[in-house]
């Protein structure tokens, strides 16, 4: 059992932070790695890239968006409640080295995953230009944390309620025009990662994206998380979750992420019916 020692609601309750007791995982976790959580006996195994890990407190932190049955169930867990299962750290850690100037681009809940990577890249001695965005001002998460590990920080909202009125890619375009970037990191909705990768390609700026496809075991056993990278199948759980954005087949990834759309609806509906009873 893995107790939730801290729980916060962000983005008007759409996004939840859980700090969870998991000493063995916390001891090993590195930026870029993920865990799989399962709430109870009947629950799904949900992969979540960690936002933080504290080996001294023996805790890991995940920040997730409530999108379906399983994340609704996660959301219903209070401080003091426990996840039945937590396993990790899984996947390859981010390769953290000094390369020069790095653009860190995050959209929505992706900022939660971007933050430890940004912190690590800053710690490695890089100059960091961060661009974070969300639909509205209240959906911007970890702004202060990101500011603390960035040399420059730009905030964007789709509706203009905070910072730049528009998409992160618009700011990135400006940055690419005036700066010589040595690396870009993009974490967020698949479409955003695709657009960022398309934008950096002509500038020949290597771009790392962090993927979160559908998977079961997280150890290379099911092959559900296979992603076409440079024409070759990779397993996001063991070869990733980070890949070269210029080589990922994002269109296929989007289709594969929608594989269980109708089941998702059925499951959420059944869940709400049970809650109403």
Partner 1 sequence: MAKTEDVTEKKTRIGMPEQEPDERRRNFEEVPLGYSPEMAMKEASRCLQCKSPTCIEGCPVEIDIPAFVKLIKEEKFDEAIKKIWEKNRLPAVCGRVCPQETQCEGRCVLGKKGRPIAIGNLERFAADFARQEGIEDGSLQAKPSGKRVAIVGSGPAGLTVAADLIAKGHQVTIFEALHKPGGVLVYGIPEFRLPKDIVADEVRNLEKQGAEIRCNTVVGRTVTIDELFKEGYDAIFVGVGAGLPRFMNIPGENLVGILSANEYLTRANLMKAYQFPEYDTPIPKGKNVVVIGAGNVAMDSARTAMRLGAETVRIVYRRSRDEMPARAAEIHHAEEEGIEFFLLTNPTRFIGDEEGRVVGMECIRMELGEPDGSGRRSPVPIEGSEFEISCDLVIIAIGTGANPLLTRSTEGLKLNRWGYIEADPETGKTSIEGVWAGGDIVTGSATVIEAMGAGRRAARSIHEYLTKSA
* Residues contributing to the site for partner 1 (CB under 8 A): 24-25, 28, 38, 42-45, 69-70, 73, 84-90, 216-224, 226, 228, 233, 238, 252, 255-256, 258-260, 263-264, 266-267, 270-271
Which backbone phi and psi does 20 adopt, to 5 degrees? -120, 140
Q: How far is the CB of 93 from partner 1 (least distance, A)?
A: 11
Q: Which is nearer to partner 1, 139 or 256 (CB)?
A: 256
Q: Which is nearer to partner 1, 98 or 272 (CB)?
A: 272
How, if at all, do strands 232-235 and 226-229 pair? antiparallel
Q: How far is the CB of 273 from partner 1 (least distance, A)?
A: 10
Q: Which is nearer to partner 1, 17 or 90 (CB)?
A: 90
Q: How far is the CB of 234 from partner 1 (least distance, A)?
A: 11
Burial 169-180 (b: 16+ CB within 10 A, else e): bebbeebbeebe
CB 10 within 8 A of CB 141: yes
Q: How far is the CB of 255 from partner 1 (least distance, A)?
A: 3
Q: How far is the CB of 256 from partner 1 (least distance, A)?
A: 6
Q: Which is nearer to partner 1, 161 or 267 (CB)?
A: 267
- Find tokens 């005036």 and name the residue: 178
- Find tokens 């994340």 and name the residue: 71
Distances (CA, A) of 3 to 40, 59, 73, 75: 12, 9, 15, 14
Q: Which is nearer to partner 1, 89 or 163 (CB)?
A: 89
Q: How far is the CB of 10 from partner 1 (least distance, A)?
A: 24
Q: How far is the CB of 144 from partner 1 (least distance, A)?
A: 32
Q: Which is nearer to partner 1, 134 or 236 (CB)?
A: 236
Q: How far apart are the C-alpha atoms of 251 and 162, rounded to whole Å? A: 30
The pair of structure tokens assigned to 242 is 């980070």
Q: Which is nearer to partner 1, 34 or 167 (CB)?
A: 34
Q: How far apart are the C-alpha atoms of 135 and 147, rounded to whole Å? A: 19
Give the Cβ contact number of residue 195 at 10 Å. Answer: 20
- Per DSSP, what are the bridge partners of residue 49? 34
From the list 188, 191, 178, the residue with the least C-alpha distance to 129 is: 178
């Amino acid at each position: 059992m893995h107790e939730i020692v801290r729980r916060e609601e962000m983005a008007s309750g759409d996004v939840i932070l859980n700090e969870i007791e998991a000493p063995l995982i916390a001891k090993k976790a590195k930026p870029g790695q993920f865990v799989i959580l399962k709430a109870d006996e009947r629950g799904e195994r949900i992969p979540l890239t960690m936002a933080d890990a504290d080996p001294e407190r023996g805790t890991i932190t995940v920040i997730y968006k409530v999108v379906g049955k399983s994340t609704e169930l996660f959301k219903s867990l209070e401080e003091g409640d426990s996840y039945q299962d937590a396993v990790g750290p899984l996947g390859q850690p981010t390769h953290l080295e000094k390369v020069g100037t790095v653009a860190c681009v995050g959209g929505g809940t992706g900022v939660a995953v971007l933050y430890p990577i940004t912190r690590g890249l800053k710690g490695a001695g890089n100059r960091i230009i961060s661009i974070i965005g969300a639909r509205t001002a209240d959906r911007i998460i970890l702004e202060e944390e990101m500011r603390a590990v960035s040399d420059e920080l730009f905030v964007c909202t789709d509706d203009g309620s905070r910072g730049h009125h528009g998409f992160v890619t618009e700011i990135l375009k400006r940055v690419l025009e005036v700066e010589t970037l040595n690396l870009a990191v993009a974490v967020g909705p698949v479409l955003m990662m695709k657009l960022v990768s398309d934008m950096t390609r002509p500038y020949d700026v290597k771009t790392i994206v962090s993927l979160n496809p559908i998977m079961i075991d997280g150890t290379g056993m099911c092959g559900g998380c296979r992603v076409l990278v440079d024409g070759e199948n990779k397993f996001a759980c063991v070869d990733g979750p980070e890949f070269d954005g210029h080589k990922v087949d994002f269109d296929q990834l989007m289709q594969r992420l929608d594989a269980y759309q109708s089941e998702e609806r059925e499951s959420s509906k059944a869940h709400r019916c049970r809650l109403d009873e």
